[in-house]
Amino acid sequence: METRATTEQTKSLPSLLQRVPAVAWVLLALIAFFAMLAPGFFTLGNFLNIAVQGSVLMVLALAATIVILTQGIDLSSGAILTFSGIIAVLSMQAGLPAPLAMLAGLLTGLACGALNGFLVSWALLPPFIATLGMQGVAGGLAVVLSRAGAIYADAPFFTFFGSGRLLIIPMPFVVAAVAYLCTWVVLYQTPFGSYIFALGGNEAGAALSGVRTKSWKFGVYVFAGLLAGVGGVVMAARLRAADPIVGVGWEFDAIAATILGGTSFEEGRGGIAGTIAGVALIAVLRNGLNVIGLATAWQAAVIGTIIIGAIVLDVLLKRKGILK
Amino acid sequence: MTGVPLIAARGIYKAFPGVQALDNVDFDLYPGEAHVLIGENGAGKSTLMKILAGAYHPDAGTIEVQGNEVKIQNPREAHSLGISIIYQEYNLVPFLNVAQNIYLGRAPRRQTPLLGALVDHKKMHADAETLLRSLNTDVDTHATVKFLGVAQQQMCEVAKAVSVNARVIIMDEPTAALTSREIEQLFNLIRLLKSKGIGIVYISHRLNEVHEIGDRVTVLRDGRYIDTKQVSEVTVDDMISMMVGRSIENLYPRNYREPGEMALRVTGLSSQALRLRHVNLNVRCGEIVGLAGLVGAGRTELAKAIFGAAPYDSGAVEIFGQPIEKNNSPAKMVRRGVGLIPEDRKSEGLALILSVAENVVMASLERLFPRSFVSGKKEASVVDGAIKDLAIATPSGKRQVQFLSGGNQQKVVLAKWLATNSRLFIFDEPTRGIDVGAKAEVHSLMDRLVAQGAAVLMISSELPEILGMSDRVYAMHEGRVVAEVPRAEATQERLLAYMMGQENGNTRNN
Ligand SMILES: Nc1ncnc2c1ncn2[C@@H]1O[C@H](COP(=O)(O)OP(=O)(O)OP(=O)(O)O)[C@@H](O)[C@H]1O
Ligand SMILES: [Mg+2]
């Protein structure tokens, strides 16, 4: 028995390394690759850049993660992001003070999330359908309200959240960090968090334990909508403008970051720590491809390939027992 | 029985579309007793208990809790009345830890001002720890439930049930997935709970458990109340005849005959991921070969590897003398006449929202309808035949499988594979959760299959079933086949010793 145990040990990686998901290895490889190819890549300035660029995606990916933990899906987060930004900027243009206008943006996200939640929990629509509909509604309203063009706002309080700094840390990053902290508290320190895992892991069992599953599922979508609203306001603050197509496709990046981070659709497995790695990978990829100057059209294809490659790698290594 | 009953249900009626699940049923429970509830699949046992636990509402009837009439609207109210239930279905959340599962829906909050919305993890784990120790178990409260063994998960369910300060704990087939040693552990726990004055309702199809753990026994048949007896006054045969309304002559009907051609030969099969090590075994036509082992010994994994449903690293599999290329797919194995009746019927054996008929023909569509057009008539004749052969309790072939009782769902899985005309069957726990009558039917069906020249490899955790049905038995321990025992030499003690790795048998390689 003893000898067998040790031979098995030597065959595979040390146990600590086994726990590092494949996405982290791919991330390191990418960083090394870009650093060798483009001198401008491996600099503090560029890493701050990546952090800013990744921040909004982080906020959105947090939302995607909690929704996927419940075995749901949110296809509307990109559209809600756009819509919330438009409402915030329009409110400022209408003369509302910046803090209130930004609040209006957040509330827009919250309301859209609430509608998603209602459709899923009580109208019993599959999340895929409900949020696909919401994608159309929020995306469409954004175009209508902005008259299909970018609209601008530059109140200092507002733009501070996009380009300001707290000491040396860029504000979007601060916002993402706060969002992460809040989500962490909700997920791991409140009963709501346990119910999120329960909804994905055993919804019927949770209901029989006396958990009000419908209300909490509603809560999940509300929270996700609020996060999308946060993302939308920060995004608009960075651009000093709201654009009716700025959020198109972001839901896919958010979902990809979640899956890359090891959260899966089975039984409520996963968590938000892995999502950081997923977001980092996508942010590094986008930035790196820009720095080495790959044409935009090619970028999408390359990013898609690498995302799928990383997920497949993770699955294969786990199946072979090399990773845990 | 004297004193005020913890629970007294009178004249309970409950109908589901197409079935009268409960038809004027009475049931009561006193402090400190274990009241066993038995009956065939679909007799209404789970339904009655779900009513007491607030998951269903009765159509008519009264329920008194400690002498006061109550209406139990939902599981929460049942908890507050001190009634908790361990359901037949798995009810834990896989990716939460033990403490979170025990207190799901009732986690203690922090007392610090402003932080009242947060869970007090310290208190929760301390409480869970105290609770688990008082139940004499050593499950780690921080362990993720998904990675616990079945027995420990069961302990977790019991702890969860106790944690609501329950005076009544209902256990719906708690031992279905446990091995004999784990069952003993559970029984000790039940005795402990009884000594604390808690009343236990115990549902099981293992009738030999009734005398060991029960004080009174109530029998249901087809939704009707048959009788309640002191356990000491009835024999197993009495219970069987009360359950089925007739007596069953032989639970293990076997006609042994000379085995024929080699149906399955496995040589040196190893897989690191499945933890299988150099497995050798064979099954001939006309034989039922038992595969014994504790939970986690690798029996299910082996079955899946053979069936092409899980990959293996090295070794060879031959089916009817033909070598199978490594890591084949189940679809190809089905075409070669192999059928796997999986252990976990909900996730692997059935499409719950499809009808009985659709499930029955699912694996044999290509055989039944070679020209790709499904003929309703032909399908109906196959399905009706199966319903009759296996005595599946369903109003018609059109009923969704999810509405059948647990045991009848298992019969549908069997029917599905029988319809394929396979010649090698791998049964993984074929009679788990099914009643004696159905068990006898399934057993005689297996005997009929081998009489017609099929070969059967049967995984079972019930040693009496292994001993009663097998021509030969292989014992597995930690991923290896440690012994091959012919029928004449197989005894419960000997097999147990092999299964627990205490003795190394002669691993004959042929
Ligand atoms: N939710 C439901 N909808 C429709 N029919 C149901 C439902 N639940 C149970 N039934 C039917 O009610 C009857 C009693 O089922 P129940 O589950 O109580 O049986 P049981 O005695 O627990 O059987 P088993 O031993 O197989 O678990 C069965 O005919 C079953 O098909
Ligand atoms: Mg039942």
> pLDDT for B65-90, tens place per residue?
999 999 999 888 998 999 999 887 77
Q: Residue A122: how many CB atoms within 10 A of its CB?
A: 12
**Signed CA dihedral, A168, A172, A173, A177: sign only:** positive
Check residues B36 and A292 and name the one with the higher pLDDT.
Answer: B36
- Per-chain mean pLDDT for chain B: 87
Contacts of A267 in chain B (CB under 8 A): 94-95, 146
Q: What value does the mean pLDDT take over residues A15-42?
A: 83
Bridge partners for B13 per DSSP: B23, B60
A118 pLDDT more than 70:
yes
Find the CB nearest A210 among B75, B93, B272. Answer: B75
Partner-chain contact A208 B91, CB within 8 Å: yes
- Preferred mutation among A202, A211, A315 to probe B, highest tally of B CBs within 10 A: A202
Partner-chain contact A210 B106, CB within 8 Å: yes
Give the C-alpha separation, B472 to B161, whole Å.
41
- In A118-265, beta strands by DSSP E: 151-152, 165-166, 169-170, 241-242
Instruction: Look at residue B58 in the predicted model and tell me its pLDDT.
Output: 95
B175 pLDDT more than 90:
no
Who's near A31: CB < 8 A, 6+ residues apart? Answer: A42, A284, A288
The helices-and-strands tally (H runs, E runs) of chain A is: 14, 4
- B394 CA distance to ligand 1 middle (Å): 10
Backbone angles phi, psi at B291, to 5 degrees: -125, 105
Alpha carbon distance, N-terminus to C-terminus of chain A: 22
Cβ pair A101, A154 in contact under 8 A: no
Q: Residue A190: how many CB atoms within 10 A of its CB?
A: 16
List C-alpha distances in Å: B46 to A203, A290, B43, B386: 19, 62, 8, 25
- A interface with B, Cβ–Cβ < 8 A, is 8, 11, 185, 189-191, 193-195, 197-198, 200-202, 204-211, 267-270, 319-321
**Signed CA dihedral, A213, A216, A221, A222: sign only:** positive
Give the C-alpha separation, B97 to B131, whole Å.
15
A148 pLDDT more than 70:
yes
B510 pLDDT more than 60:
no
- B44 CA distance to ligand 2 middle (Å): 7
Nearest Cα to Cα of residue A81 among A38, A42, A110: A110
Bridge partners for B218 per DSSP: B37, B228
User: Chain A: nearest CA to B103, how far in angstroms?
Assistant: 9
Q: Which residue has the tokens 């309640």?
A: B228
- B153 CA distance to ligand 1 middle (Å): 24
Cβ pair B153, B145 in contact under 8 A: yes
Instruction: Look at residue A14 in the predicted model and tell me its pLDDT.
Output: 61
Partner-chain contact B94 A268, CB within 8 Å: yes
DSSP state letter for B110: P
Cβ pair A291, A38 in contact under 8 A: yes
**Residue B345 CB less than 6 A away from ligand 1:** no
**Residue B393 CB less than 6 A away from ligand 1:** yes
Angle between helices B436-451 and B236-244 (to 10 degrees): 90
Partner-chain contact A208 B55, CB within 8 Å: yes
Q: Which residue has the tokens 């029996």?
A: B299
What would the pLDDT profile of B469-497 be if each residue is shown by its tens digit? 999 999 998 899 999 999 999 988 888 88
User: Chain A: nearest CA to B86, how far in angstroms?
Assistant: 10
Cβ pair B290, B498 in contact under 8 A: no
Q: Chain A neighbours among B 57-96 (CB < 8 Å)?
A: 74-76, 79, 85, 87, 89-96
A10 pLDDT more than 70:
no
- pLDDT bin (cut points 50, 70, 90) of residue A19 is low
- pLDDT bin (cut points 50, 70, 90) of residue A1 is very low
Contacts of A208 in chain B (CB under 8 A): 53, 55, 75, 85, 87, 91
Nearest CA owner, ligand 1 atom 28: B42
Q: Residue A11: how many CB atoms within 10 A of its CB?
A: 10
10 Å CB burial of residue B68 (0-12, 13-18, 19+) is exposed
A16 pLDDT more than 70:
no
Partner-chain contact B93 A268, CB within 8 Å: yes
B503 pLDDT more than 50:
yes
Contacts of A269 in chain B (CB under 8 A): 94-95, 146
The DSSP secondary structure of B285-319, one letter per residue, reads TT-EEEEEE-TTSSHHHHHHHHTTSS--SEEEEEE
The single-letter code of the amino acid at A36 is M
Give the C-alpha separation, A231 to A234, whole Å.
5
Instruction: Look at residue A110 in the predicted model and tell me its pLDDT.
Output: 98
Q: Which fold has domain A20-319?
A: ABC transporter involved in vitamin B12 uptake, BtuC (1.10.3470)
Q: What value does the mean pLDDT take over residues A89-100?
A: 95
Instruction: Look at residue B509 in the predicted model and tell me its pLDDT.
Output: 40
Domains of chain A, by residue range, sit at 20-319
3-state SS assignment for residue A225: helix
Find the range with the poorest average confidence among A14-18, A74-78, B133-137, B463-467: A14-18
Find the CB nearest A190 among B74, B92, B119. Answer: B119
What would the pLDDT profile of A279-288 be if each residue is shown by its tens digit? 999 999 999 9
- Per-chain mean pLDDT for chain A: 89
Which atom number of ligand 1 is nearest to the Cα of residue B43?
A: 21
3-state SS assignment for residue B84: strand
Instruction: Look at residue A13 in the predicted model and tell me its pLDDT.
Output: 56
B164 pLDDT more than 80:
yes
Q: Residue B1: how many CB atoms within 10 A of its CB?
A: 13
Who's near A301: CB < 8 A, 6+ residues apart? Answer: none
Residue A117 is encoded by which pair of tokens?
Answer: 């939640």
Check residues B38 and B154 and name the one with the higher pLDDT.
Answer: B38
- B126 CA distance to ligand 2 middle (Å): 34
Nearest Cα to Cα of residue B345 among B424, B427, B266, B437: B427
Rounded to a whole number of angstroms, the CA Rg of chain A reads 21
3-state SS assignment for residue B111: coil
